[in-house]
């Protein structure tokens, strides 16, 4: 089993994580909602130190104003890491991009090929494919 599993097991057994029922919530999207996709290369991304730092950063990210959710993504064989984020609006996403979390991410040792793209949410098609967003007009 991987390092992330062992870290998660230790954190869970120590009772250090909040109630995770919110993980399965459906976010309320609006016409202004934005998906932010961040990717970067980091040959050190799979190290124990990087994994520990990611666990610590996750709490900062979770508390970010305007963030509805983040999905962490990785392609370790290519040393590519990143995330998909749903923000309530573009201003929240831009503030995140200009803020300390992303600045810290960009200064990681070995970091290269940083990419950030903003996308609009297509609610009707996302609803058909069970995307984790729900129009505020469909509830």
* Neighbouring C-beta atoms of residue 68, cutoff 10 Å: 18
Q: What is the dihedral of CA 63, 39, 33, 27, to 10 degrees?
A: -60
Model confidence pLDDT, tens digit, residues 20-31: 444 334 455 555
Model confidence pLDDT, tens digit, residues 83-114: 999 999 999 999 999 999 999 999 988 999 99
CATH 3.30.70.100: does it fit domain 24-135? yes
Whether 64 contacts 106, CB under 8 Å = no
* Predicted pLDDT of residue 95: 98
* Predicted pLDDT of residue 44: 92
* Predicted pLDDT of residue 74: 96
Model confidence pLDDT, tens digit, residues 116-125: 999 999 988 9
Total count of residues recorded for the chain = 139
Q: Can you tell me the distance from the alpha carbon of 136 to that of 30, in angstroms, rounded to the nearest whole number? A: 6
Q: Can you tell me the distance from the alpha carbon of 23 to that of 40, in angstroms, rounded to the nearest whole number? A: 25
Residue 29: which of 96, 118, 122 has the closest Cα? 122
124 DSSP assignment: H
- Which parts of the chain fold into alpha helices (H)? 3-13, 48-62, 90-98, 100-106, 123-128
Q: Can you tell me the distance from the alpha carbon of 135 to that of 123, in angstroms, rounded to the nearest whole number? A: 6
In degrees and rounded to multiples of 5, residue 129 shows phi and psi of: -95, 15
pTM of the entire structure? 0.74
Paired with 112 in beta bridges are: 41
Residue 11 predicted with pLDDT over 90: no
Residue 71 predicted with pLDDT over 70: yes
């Amino acid at each position: 089993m991987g390092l992330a599993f062992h870290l998660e097991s230790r954190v869970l057994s120590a009772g250090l994580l909040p109630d995770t029922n919110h993980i399965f919530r459906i976010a309320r999207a609006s016409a202004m909602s934005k998906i932010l996709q961040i990717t970067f290369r980091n040959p050190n991304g799979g190290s124990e130190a990087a994994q520990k730092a990611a666990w610590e950063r996750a709490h900062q990210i979770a508390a970010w104003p305007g963030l509805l959710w983040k999905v962490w993504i990785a392609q370790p064989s290519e040393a590519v890491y990143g995330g998909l984020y749903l923000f309530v609006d573009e201003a929240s996403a831009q503030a995140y991009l200009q803020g300390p979390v992303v600045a810290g991410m960009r200064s990681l040792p070995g970091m290269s090929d940083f990419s950030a793209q903003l996308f609009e949410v297509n609610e009707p098609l996302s609803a058909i494919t069970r995307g984790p967003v729900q129009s505020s007009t469909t509830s």
